Structure formats: C-alpha cells, structure tokens
C-alpha cells in the first residue's frame, strides 16, 4: 500500500510540474479564466486539483501540439507577426518596388545608350575637320 501511495505522490508531483511549466510558458493573452498569477498559486497550493483545473479550464485553446510535418495542430496564429521572408504581402511589395526601380534603371540605361549612339552617328556623318587625324 505504501508503494501505491508513493507512486500516486510521484504522479501528482509530475502532473503539477507539467502544469506549472505549461502555465508559465503560455502567452498572457491566451490563458483562459484567470490571470497567470492565480493559476500558478492554484497549481502550487492544490497540486492535483490545480493541475487538472489548469489543463481543463486554463490552458490556451490553441496550444501548439506538433503533428507530422512539424506544424502546430491548430495551424498558425494569424495575430502573430510573420518574419519578413514569410510574409507574402511584404514579398509582393518588394517585388513591386524592385521591378519599378529596375524598370527606371533600364529606361535610364536605354536613354544613355541612345544618346551615345546618336553622338557616334553624328561624329561619323560629319566631314573630317582640318587637322583631325583619321582613325586607323
């Protein structure tokens, strides 16, 4: 009988530790029913009932539980900010800015090329001046 009580006490302790870790690692705005401070006190003062209450009533609804493929079961929280390289809107804006800048640069190069070609044609079509040496 003593072994059974010891096993139950260890199980209660493990459950309380998991509940405490879960409570402390949850985001503040995702914790339900009570503030984090209250949940921590409940789990510490009433380990068995507090731990069960945390997992039933306090734990975030969208707790990230990994599934095959490494993504959370509930999907991505739409409120969480994206990294710039993961945000499709940001990438589209970059593409638009980059393509606009590239087009402007290309237009300037083409204008410069046309201007230089026109100068070369004018120089070639002008009769040679006295004192100019012919290009050999």
The DSSP-derived string for 35-78 is -HHHHHHHHHHSHHHHHHHIIIIIS-TT---B-TTS-BTT---T
Flag whether the pTM goes above 0.75.
no
Contacts 24+ apart (CB under 8 A), 123-128: none
Report yes or no on 131 lying in a domain: no
Report yes or no on 107 lying in a domain: yes
Report yes or no on 71 lying in a domain: no
pLDDT bracket for residue 67 (50, 70, 90): very low
pLDDT score at 69: 47
Lowest pLDDT segment from 67-76, 106-115, 117-126: 67-76
pLDDT score at 132: 62
Q: Are residues 45 and 92 in the same domain?
A: no
| Domain extent for 11 | 2-61
Sign of the dihedral through C-alpha 80, 23, 62, 30: negative
Report yes or no on 70 lying in a domain: no
Q: Are residues 57 and 93 in the same domain?
A: no
Report yes or no on 114 lying in a domain: yes
Number of domains comprising the chain: 2
Q: Are residues 57 and 19 in the same domain?
A: yes
């Amino acid at each position: 009988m003593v072994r059974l009580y010891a096993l139950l006490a260890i199980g209660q302790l493990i459950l309380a530790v998991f509940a405490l870790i879960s409570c402390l690692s949850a985001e503040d705005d995702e914790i339900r029913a009570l503030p984090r401070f209250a949940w921590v006190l409940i789990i510490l003062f009433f380990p068995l009932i507090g731990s069960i209450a945390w997992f039933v009533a306090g734990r975030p609804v969208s707790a990230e539980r990994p599934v095959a493929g490494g993504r959370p079961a509930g999907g991505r929280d739409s409120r969480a900010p994206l990294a710039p390289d993961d945000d499709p809107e940001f990438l589209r804006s970059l593409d638009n800015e980059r393509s606009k800048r590239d087009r402007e640069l290309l237009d300037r190069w083409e204008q410069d090329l046309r201007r230089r070609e026109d100068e070369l044609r004018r120089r070639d079509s002008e009769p040679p001046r006295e004192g100019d040496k012919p290009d050999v």
